[in-house]
Every structure is written in structure tokens, then in C-alpha cells.
Amino acid sequence: MLFIGTFFLVLLLQLPPHALQQSTVQLNGNGYENVVIAINPGVRENEDILAKIKGMVTDASFYMFSATQRRFFFKDVKILIPKSWTSKGYQKRKHESYEKASVIVADFYVKYGDDPYTLQYGGCGQQGRYIHLTPNFLLNDDLIDVYGLRGRTFVHEWAHLRWGVFDEYNLEKPFYISGDNKLKATRCSSDVKGLIVCNGEICNDNDCIKNIKTGEVKDGCEFVPEKIQDAKTSIMYMQGLSSVVDFCDEKTHNTEVPHLQNKMCNYQSTWEVIKQSADFKATSPISGTSLPDPPSFSLLQIKDRVVCLVLDVSGSMNLEKRIDRMRQAAELFLLQVIELESQVGIVVFSSGATIKSPLTVIKDAESRQQLIAQLPRVADGGTNICSGVRTGFEVIRKLDGNTHGSEIVLLTDGEDTGISACFGEVASSGATIHTIALGPNAAKDLEKLADMTEGFKFSATDKLDSNGLIDAFSGISDGSGVISQQSIQLESIADAVEPGQLLRGTVALDSTVGNDTFFLISWQPDGTLPLIQVKDPSNKIYTIEDFVQDSVLHTARLQIPGTAMSGEWTYVFNNTLATTQVYSMVVTSRAANSNAPPITVNAHMSQDTVNFPNPMVVYADVSRGFSPVLGANVTAIIELTSGKPVTLDLVDDGSGADIAKNDGIYSKFFYSYNGDGRYNLKVRVHGKNTDDSLSTRKAGRRALYIPGFVVNGTIQMNPPRPVFTDNTTQASVGKFSRTASGGSFIVSNVPPGPLPDTFPPCRIVDLDARADNGTIYLTWTAPGDNLDEGQATSYLIKMSESPLELRDNFENSTALNTSTVTPRPAGSREVFVYVPELESSENNTIIYFAMRAIDNSSLVSDISNVAQVIIVIPRDDIGKNGGKDVFASVIWIVIGSAVAIFCSINLL
């Protein structure tokens, strides 16, 4: 059974990983197309930025073509220009949006430098989210000495983004003690020549070493490369060297270096990981000696938003009060979500389609109410989705004759097998279609409309105590990147209240929001408005008389004048009826200051579709601008269109599904499937207290800031990299509340009944080793019986003087005696202590450790990360006991219990 479990996991981990989200980039032949580079609306207008982008990508294309052995280049690039820039004949965008761009150009909110970086959510081989470049990086030629030529730096970041490789340096551990007991710079390859420099002056190893056991060096000690040298690798270490033209491969990769590529990719070189990518497997090198054509560039500009609501009014919309709930959700969109100066039309469809309202400019409250009055009240007939989509296009074309850059919000609950009839029209329309599937029977091909147009995908259940429809409409942003104008959902709740009972709670408004703040209350059509009381932080009370009521839509809304007061707002609903009533409340607001970004939440799953028994990962990116928000309570609620929701607490601890600690990205495994079908993701975030931290550094994989160069034996230092005394600064934003929809995803092949035990313990990724006076302390966080839940049955701990032996020959490596060890529940912090008896002719011995966990079905986790320890052995103790028995002095200690659960597994 142990062999079977191991075989299952090996098979699982060898299959190609999916991207974290569907990439808009396409590989056509050997050329990348539809690469979108979006300029943030806050960037000051400067046409030189456009020229620099073109030059950078063109140089990158040729450099990458050579580095990938004549395999990849950039073919088609789109530069997305903000609406605020002067129109100079730029083309109108189609599907392209700031939120889904592969590359963004933006300043940092908390400025710490101009490091180009890539935001990576997933593990080795998984695509990243985006590359971030600053305007100063593009415009300031003085930074070329710091990062290297822009084209080369772009290839470094593209490798992060597209192929899921990691940096081959380590800012936290720039030096290490090598196997031959020498202090060496953390780099790949070791062929890169240079000198150790202490505060700008050449120094030797002894001057630099602070702690021989850990490889820790003194402040001001750094490795400075020779500017002219022969080293050809590696692009993921120091692409700024003119000689570097290749990625590290099996021959040049340094396996003993403690950098992230070794940790995340199990000591594989970057080229090995690239060769395993879907891109590599789908292409062959281009023969000959000629270079590819330079990439073509399109300059696109964002215009005012044009949206058409295409709403299903077929007979099935009468079921489960769907049409009433659709009206309530659409009212929220028209009243609070859609931005001023946008143009909105309304189309309804059943067997055919009808225009309810032509495009109307959102100028004021009156224009919003005019549109709300046109929302449908009656449902009847069949379902013809294509008729609705075509009529939506008809409404949009009346503006300027085309549909480029427009949006359709398509909501339907009905089955329709003829939806493919309009796929061609949709694909060529240049419009974006956002789909909302209501109930369990919405058309199976509905999401294809969103996929082919880069739209959002949502689903909602028929449960009255679920706000799925409202959350879906709230999540449809405009894609312009103008966060200050977007509606931010602070709270979204729905609950059944017994007769005479109260529904009460709090909403925390922080200082980053407060403008255009609304409380929207809704109730079921056969009920009545509850008694309502809302109290602001100064104890001012708003009652039912302060709400604007709509007896047709069964809603009541309260708009807070001016900028809402920061602090905790409390609410109380009182059900005065003799029957149980379902009430819902949504609170939205906008940024308090257009020049300061608000706290936002971006939630999504690791995949759009999955087949059982493969697990998924839930992600929630909580940030203020580009600064991660730390210390928040983040809860994911995942709900099948029929069935009970699953609740998960997401963590940002840098272990397990979460690959980086304190980067503001909260993560968790999900595998508790309730059956086949559409699932909906919702995330609730609460700032714990006023001491919640705002990091000054957006975690990501970044280009190395080169400290200087050795030129003809002379040290030429670059300006020092901006340094902060602490990686965090207290964010004076107060407590905060956020709720965000993460869209929908589809699960298939879930077996009926209780799920079989197919999930092994997840991989331990935080194994650490520390030596103290000849005693070694191994620490890690316990995995579960199933990934990161439950309790494993046993551990296998192995040691070696070679990390590759642990990776490639784990079963035959030297074992530590763990027969008496009982693993603690998942999330417990554990420590294993043992005293080795070693023979050595050297004062220092380097030992490597790795481990696996086994569950009660004999399913075995993947091999953990490899931990390294340096043992300083006094001469008098060497060989004293002839100690070859590593079982001799083993002690087991368990300390504490962590709240978070730390595990990892590679996703399919």
C-alpha cells in the first residue's frame, strides 16, 4: 500500500500544471501574441514611455530567441493607454483590460525602488499573475547599470511569468558555506566571477563571516561581479552581465545554493523547468540562422464604459423568485456599481429578445433611476441566449457602429443547446461578455462566451440566504484600472431571521474608503421591510425613515452624505412578522481620496475547471495599491449551485499552498467537492485591529539589484539600493471590512457518496534545520491526513551529505529513527531533535535533511524541501565514539500548536 500511495503521488506531480488563471497570451507557432502591457491611469502622460516599451520588448524578443535556443520570441504586443491620456489617434481597445494585462506600468504607492518584479501565486512551473515595471525603470537610463539592459531584464521577468521559474539569488542569504567549507556568493552558476566587498572595499572570507554555522555575513558585505567575464549563465541570476546569454541547465546549475529556484523546483535548473512547460512541448526550434521579425505593436486606448445588460426572462425565471432577485441585483449594479459617464442599455430575452432601454449616459441619480425602472418584472417563454446577445450588440452598435471595447452582462438560468450558433459573432465582436449562471440548469456552454472574450464568470444558487447574484454584479469592474472610481464592496450578508428575532452585526469602514457609501437592504417578495437601525461610530442612528424604499423591488437604501465616518458601523434588523424572513444587506463605498488607493481584495481559484481527484487552491490578494495588507482574517466561502457551502480560513504564512510569507496573498487548498457542477467563490476579509500592517515591499520575484562591478581590479559601486529599517510600516487605516466575489469554476467526475481517500498528506515546505552545540533541531509544520486537514500517521526523515541524493534516492538515504513518533494534527508546530555522532576530517560538516509524511491509507506525501545545517565539530570530539549509528541519540519534542496549516502539493 505504501508503494501504491507513492506511485499515485508521483504520477500526480508529473502531470503538467495548469496556470493560475487563463492567460490571455497566445503562442502562435513560436511567437507570443496578445501580450498586453497596460499603463496605470496614475502614470503621468509621457510618450517616451511608449517608445521605451517598444525598444525593450524588441530587444527582449531577440535575446529570448537566442536564450531559448531559437524557440520563442514576441510577435504581437498591445500597449493599453489610459483614458486620461490625450487621444492621438490610438485604436479603441477590444477585450484588453488593465486588470488582465500581462505587464503593468505603474508607480509604487509606498516607494522602495524600481525593481522589476513578477507576482507569482503558484509553485514551480505555474504561470504568474503579472510583471510590474515602474515608469522610472523605463525612462531612467542610469538604472541600466543597476539592472542591466531593459530587454534582458524583461526576459528575466517573462521567465517568472510564463514558465514559473524562480530567482537564483537570495537577498536574505546572499552567501552560504559550500560543501568544501568555503564562503561563496549565492548565485547560479558558480562560474560568475567577482569579489567579496565589505563596505565598498575588497575583503576576505574571514572579514565577512559573522556566523560560520549559518553562513550569516556582516552588514555591508556583498558580492560584486566582474563586469567583463566569460560566464554565460544565468539569466535568472544576473542577466545584467553582458556575457550572460543562457539559462542555467543541468550542467551549469548549482544545486547546493540556497536560492528560491532550488527550494521551489526541487533542485531543478531553470532550463529543465522551461523544457517541461506546455510552451516548450508545443514547439520546435526554428532552423536556420536568421532572426525572427521584430514584434508588431498596437497602441490601444481605454474609452468611456459602454455596457448592455442582457437579462433572461424565460419562464424558468419565475422559479425560486429568480426574476425578483435578478432585479434586486441589477438595481445594485445600476445604482452603486456602474461609474458616472458610463453608457448602459438593457435587453431582455426568452425565445426572442426585446430592447428595454437604449444606451443611456449615467449622469446623475435620475438617469440611474430611469434605467432601474426598465428592469423586467415578468418572465415567460423559452431560452434563446444568442438572440439576447445579438440584440445586445444591436444596442451597442447604435453608438458608433461597432462593439469594440464594450461589455455585455449576460444573466441566464435556462438550458440552451444552441448557444454555439453565435460563437463566431461573439469572437469577432471585440466586446467582452461577463456571464452569470443562475441556478443548477444554466446552459453548459455559457462560460465559453466569457472565455473567448476575456470576461468574468459568475454563478449563483437559488438559496434565498445567499447573496450570489448581488456579489456577481458587484464584481464586474470596468477594467480601466481607475480604482478610485470603482465601487468597493465592504459587506454582503444574507440570513434567515426567525419571528421576533434580530439580525445584528458590524461593518468596519477604514480611512481609505467612505465616499458614495450605500447600505442596501433587500427582503423576500412575500415579506415586508424589517425594522432597521444603523449606527455610525459617533452613535448617530439611522432608522427606517432615513432609507429610500422601493416596494416593487423590495429594497431600501441608505446613502451616507459626504465621506462616511471611519470606524465600526453597527446594524440591527428586527423581524416583526410571524414567519421566518430572509434579509440581505450590501454595503458599498468608493475611495476616500482619488490620490490614495483603497484596500482591495482580488479573489480567484487556481483553475477554472478541475477533474476529481485533483485539488485546487483558493487565493485572495489583499493589498492597498501595490502594498500587501498583512495580518487580516480572510475566509473563503465556496458553494455548489446546490448543496452546503464549504468555509476555509486562508493564510499568508509562506508554507503549503501559500508560497510566500507576508506577501498579502492568502491561500488554502480546496478539495471538499460536493458533486459535479458550477461552484461559486466568495471571500470575506476583516482587518483585525488598527495595528494591521501594510508592507512596504510587494512580494514577488524580481530582477537583482546589482551593487556594482569590478572593472580592471577596481571596485565601481552603483548607488545603494533603497533600504528600509523595517519591511512593514503601520497602516493608519483602522479596522476594515471587504467582501469580494472570486467568480465561478467547474468541477467534474466527482463520485457519488462519501469521497474516497485519494489525497495524501501534502508536501512539507517549511522544514528547517538548526545546529547548536552538536545538537540538530529539525522544525516543520505538521501536514494532514488529507493534504492540510486531519492528522498524518507517521513520518520518514532522511539525511545525506548531498541534497541530490535526497531528491533522487530518498528511499535509500540514511534514515532517522521515527518509529515512536506520532504526528500531531495538521497545523501543529513540531520539533525533532537528535545528536549525531559523526567522523570527519574537517571542522565543519554540512548535512542535508528531507522528509515525507504517510497517512492511514499509506498514501505518501512528496519529498519536503531540503534543509541544510552546518555542524561545527571541535577537534577533540571528532570520532570519539566512532559514531556511525545515526539512531543513537534521538529525542522527539512537540511544541505549540500553530493556527495556520502549512502544506503543499503541485496542482494538475
Are 132 and 698 contacting, i.e. CB atoms less than 8 angstroms apart? yes
Cβ neighbors of 170 (< 8 A, separation 6 or more) are 186, 257, 258, 259, 260
Pairing of strands 531-535, 541-543: antiparallel
- Residue ranges of E strands in 792-872: 794-800, 814-815, 829-835, 844-854, 867-872
Nearest to 480 by CA among 306, 621, 685, 329: 306
Which residues on adjacent β-strands are paired with residue 616?
Answer: 670
Helix H, strand E, coil C: the string for 524-586 is: CCCCCCCEEEEECCCCCEEEHHHCEEECCCCEEEEEEEEECCCEEEEEEEECCCCCCEEEEEE
Residue 28's Cβ-count burial label (10 Å; 0-12, 13-18, 19+) is: exposed
Which residue among the candidates 33, 96, 99, 157 is catalytic per the annotation? 157
Which cell is 115 given?
525593481
DSSP of 264-315, one letter per residue? HTTT--HHHHHHTSHHHHT--PPPSSPPPPPPEEEEEE----EEEEEEE-SG
Pairing of strands 701-702, 646-650: unpaired
Cβ neighbors of 742 (< 8 A, separation 6 or more) are 603, 604, 605, 618, 620, 636, 681, 682, 683
Backbone angles phi, psi at 141, to 5 degrees: -70, -15
| 3-class SS of residue 678 | strand
**Whole-angstrom distance, CA of residue 568 vs CA of residue 687:** 12
Are 9 and 760 contacting, i.e. CB atoms less than 8 angstroms apart? yes
Backbone angles phi, psi at 553, to 5 degrees: -85, -10
Host H or E run for residue 781: strand 775-781
Which cell is 54 given?
517598444
Q: Is 157 a catalytic residue?
A: yes
Pairing of strands 216-217, 209-211: antiparallel
- Distance between the two ends of the chain, CA-based, in angstroms? 23
User: What's the count of helices (H) and strands (E) in the chain, helices before strands?
Assistant: 17, 54
Residue spans of alpha helices (H) in 642-753: none
| 3-class SS of residue 423 | helix
Host H or E run for residue 808: helix 803-808
C-alpha triplet 280, 283, 287: angle, nearest 5° = 120
What CA–CA distances, in Å, run from 611 to 23, 136, 472, 510, 636? 20, 45, 24, 41, 21
Are 789 and 826 contacting, i.e. CB atoms less than 8 angstroms apart? yes
Host H or E run for residue 347: strand 343-349
Are 860 and 2 contacting, i.e. CB atoms less than 8 angstroms apart? yes
How many alpha carbons lie under 13 Å from residue 519 in its C-beta half-sphere?
Answer: 26
**Whole-angstrom distance, CA of residue 151 vs CA of residue 157:** 10
Which cell is 703 given?
530582477
Active site (catalytic) residues: 157
